[in-house]
Amino acid sequence: MTSTLVSPPAVTAVGVDKVYGTGDAAVHALRGVDVAFAKGAFTAIMGPSGSGKSTLMHCLAGLDTVTAGRITLGDVEITALGDKRLTLLRRERIGFIFQAFNLLPTLTAEQNILLPLELAGRRPDRAWFEQVVDVLGLRDRLGHRPSELSGGQQQRVACARALVTRPEVIFADEPTGNLDSRAGAEVLGFLRTSVRELGQTVVMVTHDPVAASYADRVVFLRDGRIVDELAGPTPDTVLDRLKALGG
């Protein structure tokens, strides 16, 4: 685990503030967050409701703008980019897995998986595509539309879509929130495999200690600040830290 800290981080946040509204109505969602996510590591962001964990992820992924501070993805400072450049950056260098509404209902599973590549006008690496599909067990589901897939299958399609572009980092926002525990375990297991065996970088927001225990490292947020972190987590150690935070 410690070896991953040697290489430069995939994503870095320095002094990030995020304020919603102005004046009396201003809400400080993030206050001076400094955090780095190592390449080829699986990091979970945890915290009680309202701690700012989703906001942090949105800022890191270039979905939302920051009020102050810098976020760097590889060698690009994304906080300096405009909407168009950000969009292209997301398309080419970031993968997403959301809690729900991950897939376009009008497209088949295969079309959904290939969507980011087509948007970028890139030819899919067929061998990689086949490998991803096989690892995720989606071979016989490729022609189906999302309404014909189970919740777990839908999330696996979302994982395949995130992986197929070989992004620098995958952001997963409560990816198991809508799944039963068996399907959730499958998805988390797959995310961990993709990190360990394929060298993928994954940042996941979750409130579930079991989900967090699949990560290499857990970062704890409270009231918009990084308050703690834990390497090599287990469900129990995570739960203990959360209790200590009062969440």
Which residues are at the interface with another protein (CB under 8 A)? Answer: 58, 61, 63-64, 83-84, 87-88, 90-92, 96, 98-102, 104-107, 115-116, 118-121, 147, 161, 173
Tokens encoding 41:
């590591």
Distance in Å, CB of 46 to another protein, minimum = 18
Please check whether residue 195 is in contact with residue 43, taking contact to mean a CB–CB distance below 8 angstroms. no
Are 165 and 92 in contact by the 8 Å Cβ rule? The answer is yes
Q: Is the dihedral of CA 198, 204, 126, 100 positive or negative?
A: positive
Least Å distance, CB 42 to another protein, is: 21
Q: Is 236 exposed, middle or buried (0-12, 13-18, 19+ CB in 10 A)?
A: exposed
- The alpha carbon of residue 213 and the mean position of all alpha carbons in its chain are separated, in whole angstroms, by 15
| Residue 95 to residue 142: CA distance in whole angstroms | 20
Q: How many residues does the chain have?
A: 247
DSSP-derived secondary structure letter, 122: P
Q: Between β-strands 169-173 and 94-97, what pairing exists: parallel, antiparallel or unpaired?
A: parallel
CB 81 → another protein: shortest distance, Å?
Answer: 13
Question: Minimum distance between the CB of residue 111 and another protein, rounded to whole angstroms?
Answer: 9
- Kindly state the smallest distance separating residue 65's Cβ from another protein, in Å: 9
Q: Is 35 or 113 the residue whose CB approaches another protein more closely?
A: 113
95: left (phi over 0), alpha (psi -120 to 50) or beta: beta
Q: Smallest distance from the beta carbon of 3 to another protein, in angstroms?
A: 32
Nearer to another protein, 89 or 230 (CB): 89
Comparison of 29 and 38: residue with beta carbon closer to another protein = 29
Nearer to another protein, 19 or 107 (CB): 107
Question: Nearer Cβ to another protein, position 98 or 237?
Answer: 98
For another protein, the closer CB: 112 or 213:
112
Q: What does the alpha-carbon distance between residue 149 and residue 105 come to, in Å, rounded to a whole number? A: 11
Of 158 and 188, the one with the shorter C-beta distance to another protein is 158
- State phi, psi for 198 to the nearest 5 degrees: -110, 0
Q: Residue 245 CB, nearest distance to another protein (Å)? A: 23
